[in-house]
Structure 1
Amino acid sequence: MNISNINFQQMNQDLETKGWFCGEKILSDQSCETLTKLLKAKYDADNFIEGGVSKGLDLSIENRIRKSLVSWIEDWNENDELKQINIFFNDLMINLNEYFFLSMKRFESQFAIYEEGGFYKKHLDQHKQSPHRQMSCIFYLNDCLDGGELVVFNEKNRNEVDYVVKPKRGTFVLFISKTIFHEVLETRSPRFSLTTWFRDDEIIPFV
Structure 2
Amino acid sequence: MSTVVDDFDRQYRTLLATSSLDSERIDTLIEDLIHQGFSYQRDFFSPTLIDALLADLERLEACDALASAGIGRLNEHQLATSIRGDAIRWLNRESPAQQVYLERLDELRSQINRSLFIGLFEFEAHFARYPPGAFYKRHVDSFQGRANRVISTVTYLNRDWPADGGGEMVLFESQQQGPNGFDPDASIREMTRVLPEAGTLACFLSDTVPHEVLPTRLPRASIAGWFRRNASVNGVVDPAR
TM-score using structure 1 length: 0.90
| Displacement after TM superposition at 1:131 (Å) | 3.2
Q: CA deviation at 1:152?
A: 0.6
| Mapping of residues 150-189 of structure 1, within 5 Å | 150-155=169-174, 159-189=188-218
- Preserved contact between residue 138 and residue 211 of structure 2 (Cα < 8 Å): yes
Instruction: Assess if the C-alpha contact under 8 Å between 1:58 and 1:129 holds in 2.
Output: no
* Gap change, CA 1:128 and 1:45, over 3 Å in 2: farther
Cα contact 1:3–1:26 (8 A) shared by 2: no
Residue 127 of structure 2 is aligned to residue 111 of structure 1: yes
Task: Note the residue ranges of structure 2 that are not aligned, 5 or more in a row.
Answer: 1-14, 177-186
Deviations 1:14-46 (A, max 9, x none): 100100011001112221111111101111112
What is the CA RMSD across the aligned residues, in angstroms?
Answer: 2.0
Matched, 1:39 2:68: no
Q: Give the drift of 1:69.
A: 0.6
In percent, how many aligned pairs have the same letter? 28
Shift in Å at residue 130 of structure 1?
Answer: 5.3
Helix, strand or coil: the match of 1:35? helix
Distance 1:199 1:170, change over 3 A: same
Distance in 2 between residues matched to 1:86 and 1:119, nearest whole Å: 26
**For the residues of structure 2 that align with 1:55 and 1:103, how far apart are their CA atoms?**
22
Secondary structure in 2 matching 1:187: coil
1:128, 1:47 → 2: CA distance? 33
Contact 1:54 1:129 in 2 (8 A): no
What TM-score does the superposition give when structure 2 sets the normalisation length? 0.78
DSSP-derived class of the 1:66 partner: coil
Mapped pair 1:15 → 2:33: yes
3-state SS in 2 of match to 1:34: helix
Q: Please list every run of 5 or more consecutive structure 1 residues that lacks an aligned counterpart in the other structure.
A: none
Aligned with 1:67: secondary structure?
Answer: coil
CA contact 2:131–2:219 (8 Å) conserved in 1: yes
Q: What is the number of residues matched between the two proteins?
A: 203
Contact 1:4 1:25 in 2 (8 A): no
Q: Alignment partner for residue 149 of structure 1, among 160, 163, 168?
A: 168
Provide, for residues 73-113 of structure 1, a one-character-per-residue CA deviation record: whole Å limited to 9, x for no partner: 1x21x222222212111111111122222112111110000
